[in-house]
Amino acid sequence: MRKHFIGIVLILWVGAIFGMAQPTQLQLTSQVNNGAALQDSSAEMPGKYNLASKPGELLRHPPAIENVSDKPNTVEVSLVAEPDRLSLLPGKLTDVYAYNGMVPGPTLEVTEGDKVTIRFKNNLPEETTVHWHGIKLPFAADGSPLHAVAPGEEYVYEYTILPGSAGTYWYHPHPHHRTAWQVGMGLYGAMIVHPKEDPLPNSISSKLILLSDNRFTEEGELDFPDPGTRQARMDEMNGREGDVLFVNDQIMPTIDIRKGETQRWRIINASGARIYRLALEGHTFWHIGSDGGLFEKPVEKQEIILSNGERAEILVQGTGQKDAEYVFQTLPYDRYMPHTRPKDWSETKDVLRVSYSKEKTTKLAQIPKTLRFVPPIDTVEATGTQTMLLSQGLINSKKMDLDRVDVTVPYGATEIWEVENLVGMDHPFHLHGFQFQLISRNGQPVTFRRWEDTINLPKREKARFIVHYDTYPGKWMYHCHILDHEDDGMMGILEVLQPNQQSTKMETQ
């Protein structure tokens, strides 16, 4: 890591001296239209997206995807996945897969109640899908491996954003056995659902922090190990981690802050396998939201663990010193089996820098005491229990089979899921189609209600959550979100029957 980083700094330094020109063929001609709600610096540098920035440059947001509809409450966008050659590392070009010519893809910003249409074109040499992680939508729009889009084909994703689902989401491919590869090649992007009225004052500026990591060869190409090598076996076991950490498309960018200022950070873990333990030097912060949006009340935290696929919203307050710098870091987190722990697992890694201006202090804003009401799912309503036993590569001792339904439930039912990790490494568990409420971890009741679609199951731990199948029927995936594990078959299918369909639960269980 350190070595690699010094290498990058060297390239930058040499580049700066010789005035190294950035390749111009990467310039984007459209879609640098930034969403109103995300204030950032990329608006001032149209065409600069994916020109690898030097560490220390101001954080920029991926451009918002252009809405071509002029009808109210309607969002119509086009999304293309295709091979591209972009600059991810300063001074280097890399073969990638990109959405609309960018890594990460453009941000999809919508509002509750919007009717969303995404015209998707697959220009990749292989099949793919687009999965809208965490969004409640009709089965046909879920982009699961059951709706693969062949090379050259188009697919229209259509859904309405349900009330109450404001929050931070993301999108990524979900083809059978190929998700880790396609996400690793660059296919992932952020999605933000705004409420009709935000409980947080809009004097608070918003930052998007889309976290990912990747591994490169000396030449700057993406590094995927040859099958059968030691590295390939390590990646199968741990999931593929990279030593270069990206925030949006940048390495170690800077966020400017004024003393007293409050900022809202929307953080997404889009890494295929890395789990982040995030902390800001010299600061606590307010944890205000999870996968399915805001909590009822802010919670003060020193650090936060964000597993793969999970999102967090936090409020960072400028309580540091004027003119000083603080690093937002990922602290060591041991999610591994002892014999396959990567060498650098116990190192703290820098994610981004927070830089205080010399400007006059503003008065520290009051954080709202309540954010919104999170309606409880009543455990008294639960009519069934699903037990999910996670072992290495398997759920309930089975590997994924696209032609098999693992669990069948009637539409409208409420159930408790008991998920238990039987092995000595973490497995983050994700359910499609619904948001659920955690009840307990290892028998300890959870202290407050929140909406989740992904929870980490640390080594040999158990969690219980409650879910109401109240939105759409269909076949919904549940799986480990370490993408190599998912691809290897650590996934199953929950079928929620049509409202008028007879339950076949008796026969299948």
| Residues engaged in binding Cu ion (CB under 5 A) | 427, 480, 482, 485
Binding-site partner at residue 432 among Cu ion, ligand C2O, none, CB < 5 to 8 Å by type: ligand C2O
**Closer residue to ligand C2O in complex, CB, 54/479:** 479
Which one of 178, 207, 349, 479 is in contact with ligand C2O (CB under 6 A)? Answer: 479
Compute CA distances 321 → 55, 257, 351, 356, whole Å.
22, 11, 20, 7
What are the residue ranges of helices labelled H in 360-508? 483-487, 505-508
Q: Tell me which H or E stretch contains 311.
A: strand 311-317
For residues 51 and 28, the answer to whether their CB atoms sit within 8 Å is no
Number of residues that bind ligand C2O (CB under 6 A): 10
DSSP code string of 212-234: EEE-B-TTS-B--PPTTSHHHHH
Question: How far is CA 47 from its chain centroid?
Answer: 25
Binding-site partner at residue 485 among Cu ion, ligand C2O, none, CB < 5 to 8 Å by type: Cu ion
Query: Binding to ligand C2O by residue 54, rule CB under 6 A?
Result: no
CB of 287 to Cu ion, least distance (A): 25
**Closer residue to ligand C2O in complex, CB, 222/477:** 477
User: Exposed (0-12), middle (13-18) or buried (19+): which is 343, by Cβ within 10 Å?
Assistant: exposed
CB of 490 to ligand C2O, least distance (A): 11
380 in helix, strand or coil? helix
Residue nearest to ligand C2O (CB): 133
Which one of 432, 450, 464, 468 is in contact with ligand C2O (CB under 6 A)? Answer: 432
> Per CB under 6 A, which region of 65-73, 191-199, 244-252, 473-481 contacts ligand C2O?
473-481
> Per CB under 6 A, which region of 218-226, 232-240, 345-353, 476-484 contacts ligand C2O?
476-484
Label the pairing between strands 276-280 and 303-306.
antiparallel
Site string for ligand C2O, 288-327 (x = CB under 6 A): ---------------------x------------------
Label the pairing between strands 414-421 and 384-391.
parallel
Binding-site partner at residue 427 among ligand C2O, Cu ion, none, CB < 5 to 8 Å by type: Cu ion
Query: Binding to ligand C2O by residue 174, rule CB under 6 A?
Result: yes
Residue 173, both tokens: 């491919």
How close are the terminal C-alpha atoms of the chain, in Å? 49
Q: Which residues here bind ligand C2O, judged by CB under 6 A?
A: 131, 133, 172, 174, 309, 430, 432, 477, 479, 481
